[in-house]
């Protein structure tokens, strides 16, 4: 329905040519902005109700004090793999996790894996590149999220969350304690949760619009064939260059698989092409712009640097195995 609405506005009301880059970028912008705002509202309400009725503080303590031997990072990464979100669509859940007190490393495991692996991309990958390449791609994506979340969690980076998120956490804890003491009726709790959820949406609306705007511009205006020249088989630096070139791009995994197929057909090594895909879906400028509302630039840089290193290493490993 959101896609039909975007098409109606761009091609019906505005009458733009479907073949034009402006129309493609504008359609992309309207669709993704509405989708992410709606997703953020729904997730914020769901997390608010969860905080109202379930002991999130107990969950927080369990994830931070019990000896789970890294299982919490693997579970978060697996959850990310089964959620069909791009990097920007994953951010609402990331905000909900942080607000609910889930440890930061666990939320990073989800945020890393969710855009890299989803069932649609896996099906397309299987049809395009076969079982062996698909298994390596899925296992590496989950492993990347698990290890990345673990390493980032061990770095104790909570102090680099933005004051806005810290205020959300404090407010959620106080509200939950108040409701536990007063046995507030459901209808009143729901009104408060919806009001708070809308406040979260308003707080990130500008960042969403700017981030999606950057992604839409890249989506519509990057020249065809721009990247193939940097990713040839004879270039030893092809993998890191592919990842760096991918950062300005923005697409979900399912949308980028056909592009990867074209790259491979033109002689780009599959490992280099997969590294490019992971960079596009897991390290985008729109994602960084949206995360600025949640984190300081230093934390964003640490997150991006960690994921970039893992993707580059994965790209070289893919080229050896595939």
Across 28-37, 52-61, 124-133, 230-239, least confident range:
52-61
Model confidence at 57, pLDDT cuts 50, 70, 90, reads low
Residue 175 predicted with pLDDT over 80: no
Name the phi and psi angles at 9, rounded to 5: -65, -50
Residue 91 predicted with pLDDT over 80: no
pTM: 0.64
Beta carbons of 302 and 155 less than 8 angstroms apart: yes
d(CA 57, CA 51) in angstroms, rounded, equals: 9
Residue by residue, what is the 3-state secondary structure of 1-43?
A: CHHHHHHHHHHHHCCCCCCCHHHHHHHHHHHHHHHHHHHHHHH
The whole-number average pLDDT for the span 25-29 is 82
Whole-angstrom CA distances from 315 to 165, 219, 288, 322 are 34, 23, 22, 10
Residue 242 predicted with pLDDT over 80: yes
Beta carbons of 310 and 148 less than 8 angstroms apart: yes
d(CA 165, CA 207) in angstroms, rounded, equals: 14
Model confidence at 132, pLDDT cuts 50, 70, 90, reads confident
| Structure tokens belonging to residue 115 | 């855009």
| Structure tokens belonging to residue 317 | 């490993």
Domain that holds residue 239: 2-321
Output the pLDDT for position 156: 84
Across 169-178, 205-214, 250-259, 305-314, least confident range:
169-178
Residue 297 predicted with pLDDT over 80: yes
Across 31-35, 107-111, 238-242, 260-264, least confident range:
260-264
Q: Is 117 left (phi over 0), alpha (psi -120 to 50) or beta?
A: beta
Q: Which residue bears the tokens 């230093």? A: 298
Q: Which residue bears the tokens 């630096």? A: 237
Highest mean pLDDT among 88-102, 168-182, 213-227, 285-299: 285-299
Q: Which is nearest to 251 in space by CA: 4, 28, 34, 17? A: 28
DSSP state of 161: B
How many domains in the chain? 1
Output the pLDDT for position 69: 65
Mean pLDDT of the chain: 75
Output the pLDDT for position 88: 61
User: 271: which strand partners?
Assistant: none
d(CA 249, CA 311) in angstroms, rounded, equals: 16
Model confidence at 140, pLDDT cuts 50, 70, 90, reads confident
Give Cα 73 to chain centroid, integer Å. Answer: 16
For the chain, percent of residues with pLDDT exceeding 70: 68
Model confidence at 46, pLDDT cuts 50, 70, 90, reads confident
d(CA 252, CA 304) in angstroms, rounded, equals: 17
Residue 48 predicted with pLDDT over 80: no
The whole-number average pLDDT for the span 53-82 is 68
Output the pLDDT for position 184: 62
Q: How many residues does the chain have?
A: 322
| Structure tokens belonging to residue 209 | 């619009």
């Amino acid at each position: 329905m959101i896609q039909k609405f975007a098409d109606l506005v761009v091609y019906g009301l505005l009458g733009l040519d479907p073949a034009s880059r402006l129309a493609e970028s504008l359609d992309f912008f309207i669709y993704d902005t509405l989708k992410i705002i709606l997703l953020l509202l729904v997730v914020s309400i769901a997390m608010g109700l969860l905080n109202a009725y379930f002991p999130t503080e107990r969950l927080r303590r369990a994830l931070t004090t019990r000896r789970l031997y890294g299982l919490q990072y693997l579970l978060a990464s697996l959850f990310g793999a089964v959620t069909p979100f791009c990097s920007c669509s994953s951010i609402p859940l990331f905000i909900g996790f942080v607000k609910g007190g889930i440890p930061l490393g666990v939320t990073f495991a989800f945020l890393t894996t969710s855009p890299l692996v989803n069932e649609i991309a896996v099906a397309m990958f299987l049809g395009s590149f076969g079982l062996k390449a698909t298994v390596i791609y899925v296992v590496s994506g989950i492993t990347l999220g698990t290890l990345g979340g673990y390493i980032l969690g061990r770095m104790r980076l909570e102090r680099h969350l933005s004051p806005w998120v810290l205020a959300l956490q404090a407010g959620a804890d106080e509200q939950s304690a108040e409701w536990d003491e007063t046995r507030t009726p459901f209808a009143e709790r729901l009104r408060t949760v919806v009001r708070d959820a809308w406040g979260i949406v308003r707080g990130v609306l500008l960042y969403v619009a700017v981030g999606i705007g950057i992604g839409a511009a890249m989506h519509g205006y990057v020249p065809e064939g721009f990247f193939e020249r940097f990713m040839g088989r004879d270039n030893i630096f092809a993998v890191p260059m592919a990842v760096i070139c991918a950062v300005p791009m923005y697409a979900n995994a399912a949308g980028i698989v056909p592009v990867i197929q074209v790259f491979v057909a033109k002689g780009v090594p599959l490992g280099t092409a997969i590294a490019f895909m992971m960079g596009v879906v897991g390290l985008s400028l729109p994602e960084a712009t949206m995360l600025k509302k949640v984190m300081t630039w230093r934390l964003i840089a640490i997150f991006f640097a960690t994921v970039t290193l893992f993707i580059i290493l994965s790209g070289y490993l893919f080229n050896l195995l595939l």
